Structure 1
């Protein structure tokens, strides 16, 4: 991939999983990064894992479901680096694994507050401050392309991400806006659901997928980085399924 030296890119959910993998690839390509996550300790570990000094980058604790925190983070990013060339909105939480009739108001509000409203807050803050020719990638899910039992609130949130992506692409002709739709990925999110709900990892793996396995976070991150780069300059308003063939059936 081409160098991203001189580019300033903001990443949410950068402490672990796909966000961390994306940050590490972008840093290796020379990008200057503004990283945020609700987990400040893990976020700092992400920055310290880069080969070059973490002092070249900005790390900020942000709850993306809080608009004031998102606005302050993006403003601080531009104040520090003088510009914004790209963003990867990856922060998200998983489903509560309940039937729709069992979901509480709190369940629905929590998941949509982070996954859907959080992406809205990020886009609203990023777009006015982004240079023409910039690129944004939002993290949706195969759940944003279909539906399955036990994930009503999560599916709704990821459909919203797909819709927001397409609207932003139409409205911002000078900024490319795309989304990725990962399938089963081996991230701490899956482990958290195992521990919290007692749901085994295999439940999240669709046996009908062409590649019947979990993806490594790097396999999703590499597509995000491609979409952020100049190699994808004719790609906008697209939703890329990175799912091992999950959505072909």
Structure 2
């Protein structure tokens, strides 16, 4: 399938590792021009790349980074919000501080809001925003209240912006467990021989690239749940 992304100007947050880096590589492979935004310097990438340093929770830094990339490319066609944190995992709510909760919401929700806010003036008709949410917006595990709440908020933010931003499609991808440095930091050796389905960051990137392309022009305000069909199964013992 031709995605016709050659020459498109793409901005990706959280692009130094994991899903964000895989997205940058996928868009570059399609011939896009890519702006990579992260708190740390991303690895060297082949192709037309502009790197910007920013903390997505800092509005001034986000505004400056978006402007740098957009001015370098003469505008933006695609924005991909990948920056995110897991926060406390396996910790009961009674042991979770307000600061812990606020920190997760700040990166995972405020960060998406800020990049969308400051990218909007650079996005023309037919452009696209794709956020990374999670299946944790729909199904939950004990000890992950801040993360689940934040990803549910990203799904609602996606729908709200799809209505607010006329001419710009806004969707999100909601993968189940992805083998990334962040996931390995939380799950450790469980990812070496998992007893559950795990996907690669490159697989998620392909979902993002499709939603960002004109091939998905009829898809707007949607959350693509990519969980191997796990959430479709009934608890009925049959």
Give the TM-score normalised by the residue count of structure 2.
0.92
The alpha-carbon deviation at position 213 of structure 1 amounts to 2.0
CA distance in 2, matches of 1:101, 1:12: 32
Pairs within 5 Å for 1:193-208: 193-194=186-187, 200-201=189-190
Name structure 2 gaps, 5 residues minimum.
234-238
Is residue 2:100 matched to residue 1:107? yes
For the Cα contact (< 8 Å) 1:190–1:201, is it kept in 2?
no
The alpha-carbon deviation at position 14 of structure 1 amounts to 0.7
2:143 is paired with a residue whose SS is coil
The alpha-carbon deviation at position 8 of structure 1 amounts to 0.3
Is residue 2:178 matched to residue 1:189? no
Pairs within 5 Å for 1:1-249: 1-40=2-41, 43=42, 45=43, 48-50=44-46, 52=47, 56-97=48-89, 98-194=91-187, 200-201=189-190, 212-249=196-233
Q: Moved runs in structure 1, 4+ residues, more than 6 A?
A: none
The alpha-carbon deviation at position 231 of structure 1 amounts to 0.6
The alpha-carbon deviation at position 138 of structure 1 amounts to 0.4
CA distance in 2, matches of 1:69, 1:201: 36
CA distance in 1, matches of 2:119, 2:142: 34
For the Cα contact (< 8 Å) 2:37–2:52, is it kept in 1?
yes
For the Cα contact (< 8 Å) 1:11–1:23, is it kept in 2?
yes
2:178 is paired with a residue whose SS is coil
2:76 is paired with a residue whose SS is coil
**Structure richer in strand, relative to its length:** 2
Aligned residues: 230
- What value does the CA root-mean-square deviation take over the aligned residues? 1.6
For the Cα contact (< 8 Å) 2:52–2:69, is it kept in 1?
no
For the Cα contact (< 8 Å) 2:12–2:37, is it kept in 1?
yes
The alpha-carbon deviation at position 146 of structure 1 amounts to 2.8
Give the TM-score normalised by the residue count of structure 1.
0.88
1:116 is paired with a residue whose SS is helix
CA distance in 1, matches of 2:112, 2:139: 19
